[in-house]
Amino acid sequence: MTSTNTGLREQKKQETRQAISDHATRLFIERGFEETTIADIADAARVAKKTVTNYFARKEDLALDQHEEFTAGLARTVVERAVGESALAALRTAFLEAAARHDPVIGFSGLPFARMIVDSPTLTARLRELHEAREEALATALAEATGAELDDITPRAAATQLGGANRLLFGEVLRLTVEGHDNDHIAATVARSARRVFDLLEPALGDYATRA
pLDDT per residue as tens digits for the range 175-190: 999 999 999 999 999 9
Output the pLDDT for position 6.
74
Instruction: Write the CB contacts of 88 (distance below 8 Å, at least 6 apart in sequence).
Output: 162, 198, 201, 202, 205, 206, 208
- Report the chain's mean pLDDT, rounded to a whole number: 94
Q: Which of 126, 96, 71, 100 is nearest to 197 (CA)?
A: 96
Position 20 pLDDT exceeds 60: yes
Q: Which of 87, 96, 106, 102 is nearest to 204 (CA)?
A: 87
**What is the residue type of 168?**
L
Instruction: Write the CB contacts of 64 (distance below 8 Å, at least 6 apart in sequence).
Output: 70, 123, 126, 127, 130
Is the CB of residue 78 less than 8 Å from the CB of residue 145? yes
Instruction: Write the CB contacts of 43 (distance below 8 Å, at least 6 apart in sequence).
Output: none
Separation CA 122–CA 130 (nearest Å): 12
Confidence of residue 7 (pLDDT cuts 50, 70, 90): confident
Output the pLDDT for position 10.
86
The predicted-structure confidence for 57-110, as pLDDT tens digits, reads as follows 899 999 998 888 999 999 999 999 999 999 999 999 999 999 999 999 999 999
Output the pLDDT for position 66.
84
Phi-psi region of 181 (alpha: psi -120 to 50; beta: other; left: phi over 0): beta
Task: State the CB neighbour count (10 A cutoff) for residue 160.
Answer: 15
Output the pLDDT for position 2.
63
b/e code 132-142 from CB counts within 10 Å (16+ = b): ebbbebbbebb
Give the whole-number percent of the chain exceeding pLDDT 90: 90
Average of pLDDT values for 48-65? 92
Separation CA 44–CA 126 (nearest Å): 24
Long-range contacts of 151-156 (CB under 8 A, 24+ apart): 154/208
Position 1 pLDDT exceeds 60: no
Output the pLDDT for position 192.
98
Output the pLDDT for position 3.
66
Position 5 pLDDT exceeds 90: no
Confidence of residue 41 (pLDDT cuts 50, 70, 90): very high
Confidence of residue 172 (pLDDT cuts 50, 70, 90): very high
